[in-house]
C-alpha cells in the first residue's frame, strides 16, 4: 500500500531504497484474504519486480527481508496486518477530506470544457448550482 506512507520532499537517487521506504506490505490472515488482496499484499515485491508472476511473491519475500537487513535499508522490510492497513488508509482519507483547501488549487469539478458531463447531469449538485465553496 502507498496511501498511508509519507511522501518524499526531495529526489531519491536510490530507487530500490525508495521502494522499501514508500511501500508497506499487508499481512493477510487467511486464504480468502490472500485471494482478495490479489497479490497487492506484496506491494514491495510488485514494485521491484513488476513482471514477476504474483504467485512467486511469497518466495521473494524472504530474500527481500534479508536484503534489507544486509544493506541496512532504513525502515527495513515493512509489513503490517491487513486490517491495520485498512484503518491507516481510512484515517488518511478522513484527514484529506477534512483538510482545508489548498489556495490556488484547481477545482475538483474539472476545468472549463471538461464539465459537460457534470453540468448536464440532472442529478448533479453542480448542475443545480450547488457549490462546496459558497
Q: What's the pLDDT band for 131 if we cut at 50, 70, 90?
A: low
First to last CA, the chain: 35
- Report the alpha-carbon distance of residue 4 to residue 80 in Å, rounded: 11
Residue 13 three-state SS? coil
The answer to whether residue 45 scores a pLDDT higher than 90 is yes
Contact (CB, 8 A) for 3 and 21: no
C-alpha cell recorded at residue 112: 472549463
The answer to whether residue 117 scores a pLDDT higher than 70 is no
Instruction: Spell out the residues 6+ positions from residue 38 whose beta carbon is closer than 8 angstroms to its own.
Output: 54
Among residues 84, 80, 79, 81, the alpha carbon closest in space to that of 64 is found at 79
This prediction's pTM: 0.65
The answer to whether residue 100 scores a pLDDT higher than 80 is yes
Among residues 67, 59, 17, the alpha carbon closest in space to that of 42 is found at 59
Question: What integer pLDDT is reported at residue 31 of this predicted model?
Answer: 92
Question: What integer pLDDT is reported at residue 3 of this predicted model?
Answer: 56
Amino acid at each position: 500500500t502507498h496511501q498511508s506512507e509519507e511522501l518524499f520532499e526531495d529526489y531519491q537517487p536510490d530507487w530500490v531504497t525508495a521502494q522499501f521506504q514508500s511501500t508497506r506490505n499487508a499481512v493477510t490472515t487467511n486464504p480468502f484474504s490472500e485471494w482478495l488482496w490479489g497479490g497487492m499484499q506484496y506491494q514491495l515485491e510488485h514494485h521491484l519486480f513488476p513482471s514477476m508472476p504474483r504467485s512467486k511473491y511469497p518466495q521473494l519475500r524472504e530474500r527481500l527481508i534479508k536484503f534489507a537487513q544486509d544493506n541496512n535499508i532504513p525502515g527495513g522490510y515493512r509489513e503490517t496486518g491487513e486490517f491495520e492497513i485498512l484503518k491507516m488508509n481510512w484515517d488518511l482519507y478522513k484527514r484529506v477530506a477534512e483538510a482545508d483547501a489548498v489556495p490556488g488549487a484547481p477545482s475538483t469539478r474539472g476545468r472549463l470544457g471538461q464539465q459537460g458531463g457534470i453540468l448536464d447531469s440532472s442529478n448533479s449538485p453542480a448542475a443545480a448550482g450547488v457549490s462546496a465553496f459558497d
